[in-house]
Amino acid sequence: MTNKYISAKLASAIDAELMGPTVGFTIEQLMELAGLSVAQAIYKHWGPQPEKNQVIVIAGPGNNGGDGLVCARHLKLLGYKPIVYYPKRSSKVPFYGQLVQQLQYFKIPVLSMEDNWKCYLDENTTLCVVDAIFGFSFKPPSREPFSEILTELKKRDQAVPIVAVDIPSGWDVDNGPVHEKCIIPNLLVSLTAPKLCAQKTDPRLTTHYVGGRFVPESLARKYSLEEFLYPGIDHVLRL
């Protein structure tokens, strides 16, 4: 029996093995591949020249936020106009600072907590919001400033599509939305494999992609992961 959906505990074990001595990935490599996957999912979903191409990326302080920073860079290279809101930055991980430096080099605006990020939640100018706030290690409830951010996104999730990176922020990773005020993503890009919470999405409201084409066949067999047949050179697959 294969696992199409995996728990937070199993996701953590797979990540640890990917970065362990046998496989040997670094977190920076996995982050780069994850961010590329999310950018590619947006490109595949909306196309290369949508009528509006501004994308706001909201990045949290951890690895999920790092995925978002990478995604923004790739979106710029794909012809979109990303803007990053990065309210709570970690000074403990130098690599995040390097990702911000890259964004600045690519002339991608990076907003801080003091900036007016809400003005970009405009359905007339913004194609989508990339939710890169919390990953599979998140445990509800969310804290400030992110609880306020999620409240603002919920007000507009019918007008401005949300692209969730791996987990819709504010959801319990294994059990799904914890209350009716949780955001509902228009796009969910599961990384490595869909988490259990993905079973709680409504296919009429959420288009689901899997991305992160970096799991060796031997590791997939070890954890009985479903085999995802990515087409050609794509890093994402629509489920």
Residue ranges of the domains in the chain?
A: 8-226
The tally of CA atoms less than 13 A away on the side-chain side of residue 151 is: 8
Residue ranges at the known binding site = 63-67, 131, 135-141, 166, 169
Is residue 82 reached through a cis peptide bond, with omega within 30 degrees of 0 on the bond before it?
no
pLDDT for residue 1: 63
Question: Which parts are annotated binding residues for K(+)?
Answer: 64, 131, 169
Beta bridge partners of 82: 55
- Segment 116-169, tens digit of pLDDT: 999 999 999 999 999 999 887 777 677 788 889 999 999 988 899 999 999 999
Binding-site residues for (6S)-NADPHX, in ranges, read 63-67, 135-141, 166
Name every residue whose Cβ is closer than 8 Å to that of residue 85 and which is 6 or more positions away in sequence. Answer: 56, 57, 58, 59, 111, 115, 117, 120, 149
- The pair of three-digit structure tokens given for residue 3, joined into one six-digit string: 């696992």
CB 121 within 8 A of CB 150: no
Provide the pairing of β-strand 236-238 with 207-211: antiparallel
Query: What phi-psi label fits residue 112: left (phi over 0), alpha (psi between -120 and 50 degrees) or beta?
Result: beta
- State mean pLDDT over 16-26: 94
Averaged confidence pLDDT in the chain: 93
Q: What is the CATH number of domain 8-226?
A: 3.40.50.10260
CA proximity to 34, closest of 212, 229, 214: 212
Average pLDDT over residues 48-67: 91
**Does residue 46 carry a pLDDT above 80?**
yes
Q: Among 201, 204, 220, which residue's Cα sits nearest to residue 212?
A: 220
